[in-house]
Amino acid sequence: MTIIKDIKTYQGNTIDLVLADNKDHIIQADGLTALPAVIDPHVHFRTPGMEYKEDWRTGAKAAIRGGCTTVFDMPNTKPPTITQSLLDEKKALIDRQLKEAGIPLRYKLFFGADKGHLDEIANIEKDCVGIKVFMGCSTGNLVIDDDESLHAVFSLAAKHHMLVAVHAEDEHLIRERKANYQGEWNYPVHSVIRNIDVAAKAVEKAIALTKRYGTRLYILHVSSAEEVALIKTAKQAGLPVFAETTPHHLFFDTTLYDVLAGKAVVNPPLRDPRHREHLFAAIHEKVIDTIGSDHAPHTPDEKALPYGECPSGMPGIEFMLPMLLNACSRDLLNLDEVVALTSANARHIFHMPPSDDWVLVNLGETRTVERTESKCGWSPYMGLTLKGWPVYTILKDTCYKVNN
């Protein structure tokens, strides 16, 4: 067994952890703080079909390095996860890749809502963490852009006790606005085309559907003050609405286009700086429940393509916790909020049993982001100097040393 001695928990107790592995090892961990391991409810690990961007071997390594032991993967793969049999095939591939990596990462899958396959929803209740609805197009071709299908998804999900997770951007408004900006094709115009009205319109519609059908609703990557206001009202009305933000919407804004060009293109897009304060306030007020990395890797070559061809998305899983710990060091958040955002609230929303996974962090360590485990080979956090880093990640009684 491995015994990790003298760890302080984030609540201030001192504990020893005993891991039932086949080693005979004592780790002295004074100076480290134990947090529940991160649950990342929003990743795109690209299996099947886009493994040149990421796969579960590299994705799992990036997760562990970021203190994360559980991920929920999105269905916009090739092919998309829109039938029970595609779901089963995807699971088999993932299990094989995790076995090859030697990392038994915990995972759950979202099922993709697709107009042609809504009848499949009746079969997948036990196998999925929820139904993902792209209300606007993003990477891949999953989209539900008509009201009839949206009503069908929300009503079926309620009937089968499933949660609906929405990518809330209104497809019709995106198309209309895109047509207006044809002559101004550059990366920053992305934030103008897919503006806040695009997101707010879709959030409003999704909340109205929850009100009508009682469906549990999880609003992905909330990025603006306007969405926060709508969600706050819905929560105050007692609706079963939950909200996620992302590290890139919390820590970056439209000024990143000047630094990273196409690498800053993401859906929903980066916003004006003022929204970041509103996202922090929404965390303090418990309007935002969770943080998901929306880890969406694309290769540097793809991200160098001109606007219109450059795919949306950026990797994030590895540096989400360090970014949050760094925010604690600057008094923008506290550790209780970090635990709520990164594990406790997801456990509650997605009805997950307790686990003994931990991440031991050194809150005093300052280090610069210099490399990534992600197959895409780049990170928007590269070059940032952060205070607060994972040192050990504990998954299913195995202790991974990760401060390298």
Interface contacts to ligand DOR, rule CB under 6 A: 44, 76, 138-139, 167, 266-267, 296, 311-313
CA distances from 10 to 5, 7, 19, 29, 386 (A): 15, 10, 19, 14, 19
266's contact among Zn ion, ligand DOR, none, with CB below 5 to 8 A by partner kind, is ligand DOR
CB of 224 vs ligand DOR, minimal distance in Å: 15
CB of 312 vs ligand DOR, minimal distance in Å: 3
Q: Among all residues, whose Cβ is closest to ligand DOR?
A: 313
Which one, 167 or 276, has the nearer CB to ligand DOR?
167
139's contact among ligand DOR, Zn ion, none, with CB below 5 to 8 A by partner kind, is ligand DOR
Which one, 133 or 361, has the nearer CB to ligand DOR?
133
From CA 328, how far away is CA 340, in angstroms rounded? 13
CB of 117 vs ligand DOR, minimal distance in Å: 19
Which one, 139 or 362, has the nearer CB to ligand DOR?
139
DSSP string, 168-179: ---HHHHHHHHH
CB of 76 vs ligand DOR, minimal distance in Å: 5
For residues 173 and 109, is the Cβ–Cβ distance under 8 A? no
Please, what is the Cα angle at 116 between 112 and 119, to 5 degrees?
Answer: 75
Instruction: Using CB under 5 A, count the residues that bind Zn ion.
Output: 1
Which one, 49 or 240, has the nearer CB to ligand DOR?
49
Helices and strands in the chain, H and E counts: 14, 15
From CA 82, how far away is CA 62, in angstroms rounded? 27
53's contact among Zn ion, ligand DOR, none, with CB below 5 to 8 A by partner kind, is none
Which one, 40 or 357, has the nearer CB to ligand DOR?
40
Which one, 50 or 239, has the nearer CB to ligand DOR?
50
76's contact among Zn ion, ligand DOR, none, with CB below 5 to 8 A by partner kind, is ligand DOR
CB of 234 vs ligand DOR, minimal distance in Å: 22
Which one, 194 or 235, has the nearer CB to ligand DOR?
194
How many other CB atoms sit within 10 Å of the CB of residue 246? Answer: 26
CB of 53 vs ligand DOR, minimal distance in Å: 8
Which one, 282 or 296, has the nearer CB to ligand DOR?
296
Compute the Cα dihedral for 315, 317, 319, 324 and give only its sign: positive
CB of 80 vs ligand DOR, minimal distance in Å: 11
Under the criterion CB under 5 A, does residue 294 sit at the interface with Zn ion? Answer: yes
Pairing relation of β-strands 241-245 and 164-167? Answer: unpaired
CB of 32 vs ligand DOR, minimal distance in Å: 34
CB of 71 vs ligand DOR, minimal distance in Å: 14
DSSP string, 72-136: EE-S-SSS-S-SHHHHHHHHHHHHHHHHHHT---EEEEEEEP-GGGGGGGGG-TTT-SEEEEESS
Q: Which residue has the tokens 């949206």?
A: 150
Which one, 44 or 235, has the nearer CB to ligand DOR?
44
Q: What are phi and psi of 30, to 5 degrees?
A: -65, 145
From CA 102, how far away is CA 401, in angstroms rounded? 14
From CA 278, how far away is CA 284, in angstroms rounded? 10
80's contact among ligand DOR, Zn ion, none, with CB below 5 to 8 A by partner kind, is none
For residues 163 and 128, is the Cβ–Cβ distance under 8 A? no
Which one, 210 or 246, has the nearer CB to ligand DOR?
246
Q: Which stretch binds Zn ion (CB under 5 A): 53-61, 94-102, 292-300, 367-375?
A: 292-300
362's contact among Zn ion, ligand DOR, none, with CB below 5 to 8 A by partner kind, is none
153's contact among Zn ion, ligand DOR, none, with CB below 5 to 8 A by partner kind, is none
Question: Which of the 8 DSSP states describes residue 295?
Answer: B
CB of 167 vs Zn ion, minimal distance in Å: 7
Q: Which residue has the tokens 């897009």?
A: 269
CA distances from 18 to 1, 14, 398 (A): 7, 13, 10
Residue 35: both structure tokens together: 């947090």
Q: Among all residues, whose Cβ is closest to Zn ion?
A: 294
The residues that touch Zn ion, with contacts defined as CB under 5 A, are: 294
